[in-house]
Structure 1
Amino acid sequence: MYILRKITEKKKNKISLATLLIGLVSISVLLTLSILLFVSYEYKKQSLYETTLTLNLSTASKMSQTMDSLFISMRSSLKNAAAFYSVVNAADADYLDLIRKSSNYFNSIMIVDESGVIRNISPSSIRAPGEKIVTDAAIEAFKGKKPYISKPFMSPSTKQLIVFISEPLYDEKGIYRGFIGGSIYLQKDNVLNMIFGNYGLNESGSSLYVVGSDGSLLYDPNIIQIGKNISSYPIVQQLMQGKSGYTLTKTDGISLLAGYSYVPENKWGIVVYSEMSTIKAQLNIQIRQILLYSLLPFILLMLATIWFAHRLARPFVMLANIVGNMGNKEQKLLTMDQHWNREADVLTKTVVLALNGIQLKTDQLTQAAMTDALTGLSNRRSLEKTMKQWIEEQKNYSIIVLDIDRFKLVNDTYGHQEGDRVLQHLSKIVMATIRPGDLCSRYGGEEFVVLLPYTNVQDAYEVAERIRESMENSENHLKHRITISLGIAHFPSQTRNADELFVLADQALYKAKNSGRNRTLIAEVKNEYLYSFNRNN
């Protein structure tokens, strides 16, 4: 019992089984969800990286093929113009305007003769015919006498960053007659941004740039960057070596997923890239969506877990409460329903059997502690407990104190065993005489006490007389008459104190003995006695 009390005192500091189960399941679910989210995040990240790299490479390859075809068309356009010029041997300005406007390949076109003089130019506002060529690109094209593509350079006449493309002119005898050349203004509307600017890359979060054979930027969505030399970039170095592929690279501190493709026709390169931060932003959106979609199932799972945990823990909680209350208050024998869980059912039944056994033993010990072993009547402890309870409840009752006359003589003459039989005989007579709600106790030795609830002294006197007469007239194993003397007192008419009530009845008993025995007397209350009793107590 001491251990049970200690457990009860500390139970507030303990975690309940239902809470523990809910906590463990919650932690398990959260850990599982976290692991799944982490694995999903890593898998999707890797998948998205590979998909983006492959897509960027595919886009770069398609653009490379487009640019390759474009430059073949541009060269073809210049060759056709060169052949026409060789046949007609004339530099017609209207014809140049027609070539420039019909194809939209070039921002300007000019014809230079075998002496390096500009014969005609379109648009005419750029330079006047008859001037000598002065740019390094034009001079190199003039001296080379073969198809030529320049590196980006700043034109002194137009103040534009341009790329110059030319085709040589030969007459029908094969004599070199100069060249026809077209210029692309890199920082203005041109054929490159007309094609690449409408490719729709921004919708997928990707972007691109075009580099020349020397690593100079020929096209970039940011016009300010055009002309910048980025040959130090690892990916541009791969292009300058004529290679294509995809890679995870870093440019100006920004991580990129880039696909790059080499253009054989003009030895340029196209790079399609996506910023890593954009990919991570897409991943974060996907993870948030997963969390959002998982929220309702998680709540339902937790509610099911709480319900299941309470059902699983219910028998253990009941057993814990029962065990915790043992020793604190009176317990009834337990009956437990079957539980769906085998372990809980077996444990519950075992513990219930054990507790019921303990309760039966406890009840037996309690009964033994409150019962006189010889007569089977309640003992002095039970009597005092009942009197205290009735007085607290202010229940009116009478008390009869009775004693066997000359009982010492019986013990001395016949022995204590025979005296015990006399006590048992008296207890049977008393129990046969009183009502079911009355209480008879062996107070000690040969003295007995009877409590009669809701009984005044006159009625109590009649009961006492029936007991006395029954004892006097009954046959017993000793074959001679045995008498008793009795004293009566009443609560609350004679006193309101339990000890005083017993003293009054006991005094009436001894007065009956002193008056000749075998009689019943009702206690007389005197003011002097009450004053003396209260003062002494």
Structure 2
Amino acid sequence: MPRIDLRRLILLLSLAVVTLTAGNLFFASYQTQRNFLMAQTLEANRIYAVKLASSTDDFFKSSQQQLAFSANLLAPIWDQPEQLWQEVHRLRRQTNSFNSVIVIRADGKIIASSPLSMNLTGTFSNSEGYHQASKARQPFISSPYVGANNHLMIQITHPVFDDHGNYLGYLGAGIYLNEPNILHSLLGEHYYRDGSYLYVVDTKGQLIYHQDPTRIGDVIKGNPAIDAVIAGETGSLRLHNSKGIDMLTGYAPVNRIGWGVISQRPTDITLEGLQRLMLEVAGYAVPLLLLSLLGIWWISTLITRPLWQLANSTQHWGSSSAAQSVSKVRAWYYEAAQLKFAMQKALMSLHQQLGRLNLENVTDSLTGLTNRRGMQLILKDWESHRQQFSVLAVDIDHFKQVNDSYGHSAGDLVLQHVAQQMRRLSRESDVLCRQGGEEFLMLLPATPLNQALQVAERLRGAMAYTESPNGIPVTVSVGVTDWPREGETVAQALKEADLALYRAKGKGRNRVEPVPPTTTTG
């Protein structure tokens, strides 16, 4: 049986090893980045849903407090229609939180209403909201129902009692779910603009808020995120929405009323940037690999042992020792030397491309600072080498108000402005990080606490007296600590810096707070 000659054997071996190794590296890099981006998006959606659920819960708490105050004023003027109307009109116009405000007697007669255009005063209510509130006779938020004017609405109510404790009726504030309302203000400015969206459901899975107003009132079945949030759970998962689109979903409940906030981003959008990056890497790597293979084919008829050594080294193509292995090959003739050079160049290019992926993996795309992952790698190295350093935990004061008042584009400019000031006031050896949202860290190696406090104060002053690019006044609060301290890990030091930051926030913001001095007992 004829045996394959050495030239073809080496060629086939080289072709298989180079192609499979490069493909495996490419696939492993893609999978690693893909999983990281998906996990990051799931967590971001979960956090965003939690924040919006908290804001919605705070709104209902505030609304109930407003109604409680007004309800206490109604009993003395219960038989004075003009004064009743003045109070409900004031309540509706005071914050524009409610679409309508009414006062209903215990027998169901509406004795005051605002706006007057509803023409409800003097009529009797038989709505679901009336029956729920009359039965409760305590502060109450109704389930969604269709009101007298065919509005899908909820009603926030507070009972009214006279001086003897007799139930007179209740004060009710209505929010129309299928018309512009306070929920649109709280939830409407979603921070994605790339196919992502936010929606809210009640305890029955009925849509309370959605970017498509025509879907409000629909009941969604079979959605695991909705089932989980109705059960009071907070979390994230990957699912297909009602249109079959693959989504990365975060969800959180509004505890006061049992609603659920769901934030979603299409998986394809999340991975779109990664796909472009991998195509760019392939554009650089594939031509070099093809050139290497052509070189191998060209000299395969002339080489023996040197070629075998080079082909054998490709089995460790992805290892850090690959370049050293190739360099040790004795290329005693011109063709072998050229192949050796081509393989070294291919290795260098591939490692450069992987290094570029790693750099983007540890860099925050908005500010250019080190992200949380990069920070953890640096701190792990410092902790293993007992590197002394100080920590500045920096947080932008009232950043949510910037986003709410000026939009997220303005908020992004503010984040970039803070990053610029941090760079301006730092040394080349300092590590500047964005932990997420409006939270930053400055890691100052070989810097004692007193010097770190001076840096923190300079940063605070620079932010307070330097105008941001869009003219929005921005201040920061800073917590400062140092490491190592006796019996303390790096993680504990970061926690101490956060606690100091919270003290700065609690003392009025726009200030620097150090970690309390260590005390010892004898």
**TM-score normalised according to structure 1 size:** 0.51
From 46, 58, 75, the equivalent of 2:64 is: 75
Asked if 1:142 is matched to 2:134, the reply is yes
Aligned to 2:277: 289
CA contact (8 A) 2:52 2:186 kept: no
Residues 299/20 of structure 1: CA separation in 2 closer, same or farther (3 Å cut)? farther
Instruction: Tell me the secondary structure at the aligned position of residue 177 of structure 1.
Output: strand
Aligned to 1:118: 110
CA contact (8 A) 1:262 1:268 kept: yes
Aligned to 1:106: 98
CA distance in 1, matches of 2:92, 2:121: 17
Residues 94/310 of structure 1: CA separation in 2 closer, same or farther (3 Å cut)? same
The 5 A counterparts of 1:511-530 are none
CA contact (8 A) 1:315 1:344 kept: no
Instruction: Tell me the secondary structure at the aligned position of residue 125 of structure 1.
Output: helix
Deviation at 1:73, TM superposition (A): 0.8
From 233, 250, 263, the equivalent of 1:259 is: 250
Aligned to 1:133: 125
Identical-residue share of aligned pairs (%): 26
The 5 A counterparts of 1:123-272 are 123-155=115-147, 157-203=148-194, 205-230=195-220, 232-252=222-242, 253-272=244-263
CA distance in 2, matches of 1:216, 1:274: 21
Deviation at 1:111, TM superposition (A): 0.7
Residues 298/187 of structure 1: CA separation in 2 closer, same or farther (3 Å cut)? same
Aligned to 2:52: 63
CA contact (8 A) 1:260 1:269 kept: yes
Residues 300/171 of structure 1: CA separation in 2 closer, same or farther (3 Å cut)? same
CA contact (8 A) 1:216 1:231 kept: no
Deviation at 1:107, TM superposition (A): 0.7
Aligned to 2:483: none
Deviation at 1:59, TM superposition (A): 0.9
Instruction: Tell me the secondary structure at the aligned position of residue 227 of structure 1.
Output: coil
Deviation at 1:240, TM superposition (A): 2.7
CA distance in 2, matches of 1:273, 1:341: 55
CA contact (8 A) 1:206 1:274 kept: yes
Aligned to 1:43: 32
Instruction: Tell me the secondary structure at the aligned position of residue 118 of structure 2.
Output: coil
Instruction: Tell me the secondary structure at the aligned position of residue 189 of structure 2.
Output: coil
Aligned to 1:299: 287
CA contact (8 A) 2:200 2:261 kept: yes
**TM-score normalised according to structure 2 size:** 0.53
Residues 294/45 of structure 1: CA separation in 2 closer, same or farther (3 Å cut)? closer
Instruction: Tell me the secondary structure at the aligned position of residue 167 of structure 1.
Output: strand
Question: What is the RMSD of the two structures over their aligned residues, measured on CA atoms?
Answer: 3.1
CA contact (8 A) 1:117 1:133 kept: yes
Paired AA for residue 192 in structure 2: L
Residues 45/343 of structure 1: CA separation in 2 closer, same or farther (3 Å cut)? closer
CA distance in 2, matches of 1:306, 1:241: 62
Deviation string 1:41-74 (CA, Å, 9 cap, x unpaired) is 3222322222222111111111111111010011
How many corresponding residue pairs?
305
CA contact (8 A) 2:106 2:168 kept: yes
Deviation at 1:314, TM superposition (A): 4.5
Deviation at 1:152, TM superposition (A): 1.5
Aligned to 2:513: none
The answer for unaligned runs of 5 or more in structure 2 is 305-327, 337-522
The answer for unaligned runs of 5 or more in structure 1 is 1-6, 8-13, 317-339, 349-537
